[in-house]
């Protein structure tokens, strides 16, 4: 069974993906390419097929924008996917940790929007990759605060760019199997599973169909939206433990 309902939905669209070297970014590059997009995969890490771009660097973004202007004249989509975590807690996180994580997770997407905006025409679409951390009190405070900030950036950008016909939306992944979660403690996985109504972790293939959809013209009236892809993790506000404790049918 194929999950591609309309193959070629992104035919001819030029799309930039940040953090495209591995994990969700690499899967997005693959899925968008399959849908016909001309994908410019970027990452601070070196990887085959990936152009080097540090999302925190204004000069990297300026160079990329100039290259795209020269080669394609415009850009139809941007996926602000690059992100870093830092698992210090509120009592020991340092200001420099807060600043470093914010730079990648918030300033990076802002710079991407600012530099590629002049190349965007009505119909262009920006997808920011948030996190279930952006909807909860997830303990790694630098990461959580940065993803909440990204929500604010996305909402404001959606409002500010609407009159230009440019859409900006957020996808909030839950626990997705990538290098980022592979480095987490085993208890993190166990509790996530327990608190996830669908009872499993997510894969990169759970995220990509939504990213494809939001970049496509099928989503042409959707902007400022925030869509969790988390198996229900953020849907129950802590009530799952009560439901599980009182269940008599399992």
CB of 21 vs ligand NAD, minimal distance in Å = 4
CB of 110 vs ligand NAD, minimal distance in Å = 13
Counting beta carbons within 10 angstroms of the beta carbon of residue 12, is it exposed (0 to 12), middle (13 to 18) or buried (19 or more)?
exposed
CB of 152 vs ligand NAD, minimal distance in Å = 16
Indicate the residue among 33 and 36 with the shorter CB distance to ligand NAD.
Answer: 33
Indicate the residue among 120 and 129 with the shorter CB distance to ligand NAD.
Answer: 129
Indicate the residue among 190 and 217 with the shorter CB distance to ligand NAD.
Answer: 190
Contact residues toward ligand NAD (CB under 6 A) are: 18-19, 21-25, 43-45, 54-56, 81-84, 104, 129, 131-132, 173, 175-176, 178-181
- Tokens representing 196 are 């996830």
Cα dihedral 136, 26, 123, 117 sign: positive
Residues 6+ apart with CB under 8 A from 202: 173, 174, 175, 176, 177, 229, 230, 231
CB of 250 vs ligand NAD, minimal distance in Å = 27
**DSSP letter at 32?**
H
Is 139 one of the catalytic residues?
A: no
For 218, phi then psi, to 5°, come to: -60, -25
Indicate the residue among 58 and 217 with the shorter CB distance to ligand NAD.
Answer: 58
By annotation, the residues acting in catalysis are 143
């Amino acid at each position: 069974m194929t999950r591609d309902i309309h193959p070629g939905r992104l035919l001819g669209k030029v799309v930039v993906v940040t953090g495209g070297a591995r994990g969700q970014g690499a899967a997005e590059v693959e899925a968008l390419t399959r849908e016909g997009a001309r994908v410019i995969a970027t990452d601070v890490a070196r990887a085959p097929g990936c152009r080097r771009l540090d999302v925190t660097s204004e000069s990297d973004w300026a160079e990329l924008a100039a290259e795209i202007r020269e080669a394609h004249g415009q850009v139809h989509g941007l996926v602000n996917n690059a992100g870093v975590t830092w698992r210090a807690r509120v009592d020991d996180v340092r200001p420099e940790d807060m600043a470093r994580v914010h730079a990648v997770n918030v300033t990076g997407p802002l710079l991407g929007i600012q530099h590629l905006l002049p190349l965007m025409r009505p119909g262009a679409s920006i997808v920011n990759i948030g996190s279930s951390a952006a909807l909860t009190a997830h303990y790694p405070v630098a990461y959580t605060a940065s993803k909440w900030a990204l929500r604010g950036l996305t909402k404001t950008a959606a409002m500010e760019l609407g009159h230009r016909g440019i859409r900006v939306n957020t996808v909030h992944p839950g626990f997705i199997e990538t290098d980022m979660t592979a480095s987490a403690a085993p208890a993190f996985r166990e509790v996530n599973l327990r608190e996830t109504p669908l009872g499993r972790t997510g894969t990169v293939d759970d995220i990509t169909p939504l990213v494809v959809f939001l970049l496509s013209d099928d989503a042409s009236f959707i902007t400022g939206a925030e869509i969790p892809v988390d198996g229900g993790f953020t849907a129950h506000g802590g009530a799952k433990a009560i439901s599980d404790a009182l269940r008599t049918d399992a």
